[in-house]
Every structure is written in C-alpha cells, then in structure tokens.
Structure 1
Amino acid sequence: MAGPIETLQKLIELSGSENFWASVGSSLGHILLGFVIGTVLGIVFSFLAYKEELVRDFARPIVGLLKTVPVASFVILLLIWLGSSNISIFISAMVVFPIIYVSTLEGFDATDHKLLEMAHTFRMPEGNVIRYIYLPQLIPFFKSSFKLAIGMAFKSGIAAEVIGQPLETIGNGLYNAKIYLETGELFAWTIAIVVISFICEKILLLLLHVMGGRKA
C-alpha cells in the first residue's frame, strides 16, 4: 500500500509525462461531451414532458431503466455494438440524462402558473418567459442536479474506460496500474480524477451563478 509521499511523488512523475496529459485530455473531452449531451437531452425532454403528458408517460420507463440497470451492462453492450473508442461519451450521457431530466422536470412542475398566465395575458415574448420566469425557477434545481451529475459522469465514464480499455485515457492508466500492482500510480490517477471533477463542478456552479444572478 503506497503512502501519501509515494503517491505525491508518482503524481509529480506522471504529470511530467506527455502520455498523462494526453490521457487526461482525452478522458476529460469525452466525459464532458457526454455530460453536455445528457444535459441537453435531459432539459429538452423534461420540457416536452412538462408540456405533454404523453411524452412524460413515454419517458418514465426509459428513465427508470437508465437509473436501475448497472453501468457495466451498458458498457458491455456498447463494446459489442460500437467498440471502445467513444464509450465514455455514451455512458456519461446515459448516466447524466435521468439525473437532469428528473430534476429539471420537478423545476418545471414547481413553476408558478399564475406568473405564466400573466405572461400569456400580456403576450410576453417566449424568450423573456424563459429568462424571467422559468430560468430563476430552474437554477436551484440545476445547481443540485449538476453537482450530482458531473461527479456521476466522471465515475461512470472512467469505469467504462477501465472496462473498455481505449488507449490514452485515464481508465487505461488505472487499469495498467492495477495490472502492475502500482498502488502509488493508482492513487495518483485517482487524485487526478478527483481534482478534475472538482474543478469542473466549480466551473459549472460559476456558470449558474452568472446565469441566475445570485450566489451559486
């Protein structure tokens, strides 16, 4: 078992390697792309479900399936169908989608209908309705769901890489550390994941702060 000093030394050693930064960049790009895809789909489908009961009924079993089926099952299926190169994109999106969908739909359902009726009566432009009515209502829901979703995106995305073994990824680095019993390197990669996830979470909260005009 590697101690803190050995782990720190290994992290410094890894950070001086081009392969380390290539792996971090590859995994970060794929996972963030999956996060964006899952977030956009979650928001769009939650709005459609808010407007149409049929969409809500259609989405309910799909969301339930994505929330309950183990990530490993999806990873194996995607490896068979699509290969390993972009697997973390799809897995991250699949994990993020139900989190954002459920939280955003709750935000839409909690919107004050009297404000919406007033906006309709005074023929407020749809853009202003979104900006001044929906968005302030949704910001707290976005805050809680994004904090959960970004962490889950990294956990599931890296797990998918460990199973699928795409080259030059953090998951591949973790797998190699396990194969060669390099516990110091394993902890170093883990610290890198935690730091990257933390930074991404803070950036998201900062963006919400700017969007909502309040402290995130």
Structure 2
Amino acid sequence: MMKYSWKSKLYTLISCLFFIGLWQLIAVITNNDIYIPRIQQVIEAIKIIFMEQDFLKVILSSFYRTILSYILALAFSMILGVLGAVYPFFQYLIQPINSFAKTIPTMVLVVLLLVWFDKDITPFAVGFAIIFPILYEGVRNGLMQIDKRIIDMTKIYEVSIKDKIKKIYLPVMKFYFMSIFVSTLSLTFKVVITGEVYGQPKFGIGSQIQLEKVNFNVSGIFAWIVIIVFISLFLEIINKLLKKRIYRWTK
C-alpha cells in the first residue's frame, strides 16, 4: 500500500513536470506572450502580485464571500432538508426552484443576478445559488435513507420533533457535510470568483483577473490561475485529512 502510494505520487509529479515542460516548449515556439506566456513571465507576474499592497485584501475578500455564501447555503439546506423529511409538502415546494437552479448555466445566472443585485452582492448570490441545490439534495437524500423502522419507532414512542432532529437527523447531516465539505467549499470559491469577474467588486480575485484581461496581461491571468490552483490544492489536502478522520470515526 505504501509502495503504491509513493508510486502514485511519483507518477503525478512526473506528469506535472511533463506538462510544465510542454507548456514552456509551446510558449517558446509560439513566442507570443499574449497567447501563452513563458513560465518565467508567469513567475515574475506572481511575484508582482504578492508584492502588491492589497494582495491579502483581495484574497480575503474572495474567501469572505465564499464562506458567507457557503454558510447561508449550508443553513438553508439543513433547515429545508429537515422540513422536507418531516413534512413532505416542503420537499415538493422546493423541488421546482431546486431544479431551476441546477439547470440554468452559471454564466446566465451571473448575468441575471447582476440585473437584480449590485456588483458587491452578486458574487455572494451566485455562490449561494450554485451550491445550495447540491447541499440540499445531499441532505434530503441522506435523511430519506434513514431506516424507516427508526422513524416508526419515534412515532410509537412519541419522540418530540426536537429530539428527533437532535438524535437522528443532525448526526446524519454532520457525517454528510464532513465528507463533502471541502469539495463543495472549493466549488463555491470558484463560482464566487466567476461572479467577481463579471460583477467586478473593488476587491476580489475575479476583479483582478478581469483587470488583467482589460490590460492584455496574459501573464497576470496565468499567475492568478496558479494562485487559485495552489489554494484549491490546499483545500484538497484539508479534504483528505477530514476523510481520514471520518474513516477513523466509522471504524
């Protein structure tokens, strides 16, 4: 198992180095940094971004929007998921809205929300609208898979709704959220950045990418992409640690 793990990491590293080399080769052959910049140019652009006075404010602003929209989506999915499990009427009530939010393209949703809200609220709204259906369906499906005999037993012994939520529903939701927390948070982060690209709030990663685009600074765009990739990798490491912890709990 250990050998396989090390081999897997080695192959991943070799693959990354291959594509980095391919990128550099294409950049040298093309010799046009408007289409594809060289690696040295991207590294230089990353250094410039890190040295900017508002760098941390830009990153933290995007994270703030991500966390806020995620927490709101999480809270609403839990509340409506429980209501849908306890009272089927709520499940049918939410279903059309949920289907609409899942099927509409992200770009169209961003444009629509820009009509309804200002540039600062749009990234929040986009993050919430994209992630809520995913969390809600996960909660609802998890609660619907609870053994019906347990639910019937709570009816026989007249267990209160409060105790039913606390002792049965919350543990199920907790396990579900722990297993998908980072992957859905990472998705929210990317969607919020998309909202920032179009909404262009004063501070935000998406706003900076749009600014680089206006200035035809492709090296700057690639630099921000690299930064986003490293943030996503960091979240992925957290995801693996959480999954290991969940595995230990379930053993």
Percent identical pairs in the alignment equals 24
TM-score for the superposition, normalised by structure 1: 0.84
1:89 aligns with 2:128: no
Match of 1:41 in 2: 76
Aligned mate of 2:113, from 71, 78, 88: 78
Check 1:57–1:71 CA distance in 2 against 1; reply closer, same or farther (3 A cut).
same
Q: What secondary structure, in the 3-state scheme, does the structure 2 residue paired with 1:98 have?
A: helix
Check whether the contact 1:103–1:145 (CA below 8 A) recurs between aligned residues: no
Check whether the contact 1:38–1:95 (CA below 8 A) recurs between aligned residues: no
Match of 1:26 in 2: 61
Kindly provide the CA deviation profile for residues 125-166 of structure 1, in whole angstroms up to 9, marking residues without a partner as x. Answer: 767654553344334532454344223212221111111111
The amino acid across from 1:109 in the alignment is M
1:3 aligns with 2:44: no
Kindly provide the CA deviation profile for residues 163-206 of structure 1, in whole angstroms up to 9, marking residues without a partner as x. Answer: 11112211111011112222221122112223334444555776
More displaced stretch, 76-85 vs 160-169: 76-85
Match of 1:170 in 2: 205
1:113 aligns with 2:148: yes
1:57 aligns with 2:92: yes
Q: Can you give the 5+ residue segments of structure 1 that lack an aligned partner in the other structure?
A: none
Check 1:132–1:141 CA distance in 2 against 1; reply closer, same or farther (3 A cut).
same
Check 1:122–1:211 CA distance in 2 against 1; reply closer, same or farther (3 A cut).
farther
Check 1:18–1:151 CA distance in 2 against 1; reply closer, same or farther (3 A cut).
same
Distance 2:60 2:182 in 1: 21
Distance 2:248 2:72 in 1: 25
More displaced stretch, 185-194 vs 125-134: 125-134
1:156 aligns with 2:191: yes
Q: Can you give the 5+ residue segments of structure 2 that lack an aligned partner in the other structure?
A: 1-35
Check 1:196–1:109 CA distance in 2 against 1; reply closer, same or farther (3 A cut).
same
Aligned mate of 2:101, from 41, 57, 66: 66
Distance 1:59 1:145 in 2: 22
Q: How many residues align?
A: 215
Distance 2:68 2:137 in 1: 20
Check 1:214–1:188 CA distance in 2 against 1; reply closer, same or farther (3 A cut).
farther
Check 1:185–1:145 CA distance in 2 against 1; reply closer, same or farther (3 A cut).
same
The amino acid across from 2:122 in the alignment is I
The amino acid across from 2:40 in the alignment is I
Match of 1:17 in 2: 52
Larger radius of gyration: 2
Q: What secondary structure, in the 3-state scheme, does the structure 1 residue paired with 2:249 have?
A: coil
Deviation at 1:94, TM superposition (A): 0.6
